[in-house]
């Protein structure tokens, strides 16, 4: 089986482009894969000899990069050359929500996608298949094709250039991205030209069974991506709303979720209550769906999906208020350990993380935060919270929180993060947090001490043990814990 594709260029070396192209290169050693980005620092990180310094953390990623980099996988800022050499080009750039103008706060900002299309039109030679990998609004492919054709025809050097545009959205969950790429539930390809669709399909069939490759028209493919994320986010908001009801009634969300999940019509996935959904896609894609629904005269549909986002925000704020209430109505000057800052375990991505919202609420209330996360850097936390972050390593003192007027601190050691605190808040489900020896760490906390477990990291057995050590605990959706 051969696709005839020998050289692939991916524009964008972020959370989608980097892992996706790494796996593609690993599975197709005969294809040269070039990942380009204008962010020189990011490209430098992808080329770092120290694989622990890759810009993205995903289990299994560094092993693939180690195998393929320099062979048929290349990271470079030579955008013009690699576009010119490519038979197929993937667009994997960011599509943030617009902050101003028409559709501000909901519609996707496509300026980077349009910029990519113009670069492709300017430098591509011969026939090129352009693949949308970024999450895009419905009918964006039509815009891309118009830009490609109009721009190409106006540039003498690329007069003979021609293009096909395909939609091939990613369905990756951060933390399991490599597994999702190597053994996907499905691969979706939308397009108008059957030959172009088959060329991309042939590449995937090197490792994906043909029956898992779904072929649709391009508009269905674009909308399917938005809808998939919207449905997943809806499930998270739904189960989190029930967790609040469980706390009020004495029920346990873990038992309710298990009962619901055994119904084959519902299934058990995405029924774990937590501090709210985060990541780069869920909120952005739902708001895009809201904008599109309003644009096409469907306000009732728009209102339905917007409530999913509103409930997520309410849920995060509910947790912040609950922490303040349990700590006698004030956290001013109190030390609170924040365990986990990434939006989920097994990733260093903090975009739209519930930790950002909850930490900002606590800081506004005057709390002193001692933050720990095994993969998120202090620099990233500082950027997300718009706060100066002091670290235990920089200050070279046992407890820098006692010697400065700052309100945010990063501790690489979990025990040091908890030392001297009034409360511990578990916000990311890292496995290391489920192994904390509470009988020991509670000795260093100020009494009365509180643990706020938003991830159900603490087992029932540990919960019973904790109560012996004069520790107060709140566990999400557990109405039996008061």
Residue 170 is a catalytic residue: yes
Distance CA 208, CA 185 (A): 10
- The one catalytic residue in 119, 170, 222, 365 is 170
Confirm if 127 and 160 have CB atoms less than 8 A apart. no
- The one catalytic residue in 225, 334, 344, 370 is 225
Cα 46 from chain centroid? 19
Confirm if 411 and 417 have CB atoms less than 8 A apart. yes
- Collect all residues with Cβ–Cβ distance below 8 Å to 364 and sequence separation of at least 6: none
Residue 225 is a catalytic residue: yes
Residue showing tokens 């601190």: 409
Confirm if 99 and 17 have CB atoms less than 8 A apart. no
Sort residue 456 into left (φ over 0), alpha (ψ -120 to 50) or beta.
left
Distance CA 43, CA 374 (A): 23
208-213: long-range contacts, CB 8 A cutoff, minimum separation 24: 208/184, 212/184, 212/185, 212/186, 212/187, 213/186, 213/187, 213/189
* Beta carbons within 10 angstroms of residue 127's beta carbon: 12
- Letter string b/e over residues 243-273, b meaning 16 or more CB atoms within 10 A of that residue's CB: bbebbeeebbbbebbeeeeeeeeeeeebbbb
Whether omega before 416 lies within 30 degrees of 0, making that bond cis, reads: no
Q: DSSP strand E in 100-193: where? A: 127-132, 162-167, 187-190
Residue 66 is a catalytic residue: no
- The one catalytic residue in 281, 359, 408, 442 is 281
Kindly list the catalytic residues.
Answer: 170, 225, 281
């Amino acid at each position: 089986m051969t696709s005839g594709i020998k050289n692939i260029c991916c524009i964008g070396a972020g959370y989608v482009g980097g892992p996706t192209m790494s796996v593609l290169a690993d599975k197709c050693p005969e294809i040269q894969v070039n990942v380009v980005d204008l962010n020189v620092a990011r490209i430098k990180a992808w080329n770092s000899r120290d694989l622990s310094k890759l810009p993205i953390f995903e289990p299994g990623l560094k092993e693939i990069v180690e195998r393929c980099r320099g062979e048929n996988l290349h990271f470079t800022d030579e955008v013009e050359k690699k576009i010119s050499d490519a038979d197929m080009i993937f667009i994997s750039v960011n599509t943030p929500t617009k902050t101003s103008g028409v559709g501000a706060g909901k519609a996707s900002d496509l300026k980077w996608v349009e910029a990519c299309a113009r670069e492709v039109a300017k430098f591509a030679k011969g026939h090129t298949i352009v693949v949308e990998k970024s999450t895009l609004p419905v009918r964006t492919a039509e815009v891309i094709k118009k830009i490609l054709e109009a721009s190409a025809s106006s540039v003498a050097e690329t007069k003979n250039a021609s293009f096909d545009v395909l939609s091939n959205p990613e369905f990756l969950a951060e933390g399991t991205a490599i597994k999702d790429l190597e053994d996907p539930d499905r691969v979706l390809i939308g397009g108008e030209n059957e030959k172009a669709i088959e060329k991309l399909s042939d590449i995937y069939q090197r490792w994906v069974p043909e029956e898992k490759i779904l072929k649709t028209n391009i508009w269905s493919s674009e909308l399917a991506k938005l809808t998939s994320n919207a449905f997943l986010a809806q499930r998270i908001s739904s189960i989190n709303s029930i967790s609040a009801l469980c706390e009020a009634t004495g029920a346990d969300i873990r038992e309710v979720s298990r009962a619901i999940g055994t119904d084959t019509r519902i299934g058990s996935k995405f029924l774990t209550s937590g501090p709210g959904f985060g990541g780069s896609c869920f909120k952005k894609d739902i708001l895009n769906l809201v904008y599109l629904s309003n644009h096409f005269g469907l306000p009732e549909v728009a209102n339905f999906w917007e409530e999913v986002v509103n409930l997520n925000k309410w849920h995060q704020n509910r947790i912040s208020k609950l922490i303040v209430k349990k700590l006698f109505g004030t956290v001013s000057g109190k030390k609170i350990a924040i365990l986990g800052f990434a939006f989920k375990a097994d990733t260093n991505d903090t975009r739209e993380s519930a930790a950002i919202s909850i930490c900002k609420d606590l800081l506004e209330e005057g709390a002193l935060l001692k933050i720990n996360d095994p993969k998120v850097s202090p620099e990233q936390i500082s950027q997300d919270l718009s706060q100066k972050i002091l670290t235990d390593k920089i200050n070279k003192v046992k407890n820098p929180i006692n010697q400065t007027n700052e309100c945010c601190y990063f501790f690489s050691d979990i025990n040091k993060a908890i030392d001297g605190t009034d409360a511990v808040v578990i916000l990311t489900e890292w496995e290391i947090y489920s192994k904390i020896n509470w009988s020991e760490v509670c000795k260093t906390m100020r009494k009365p001490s509180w643990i706020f477990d938003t991830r159900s990291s603490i087992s029932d057995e540990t919960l019973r043990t904790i109560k012996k050590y004069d520790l107060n605990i709140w566990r999400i959706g557990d109405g039996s814990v008061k």
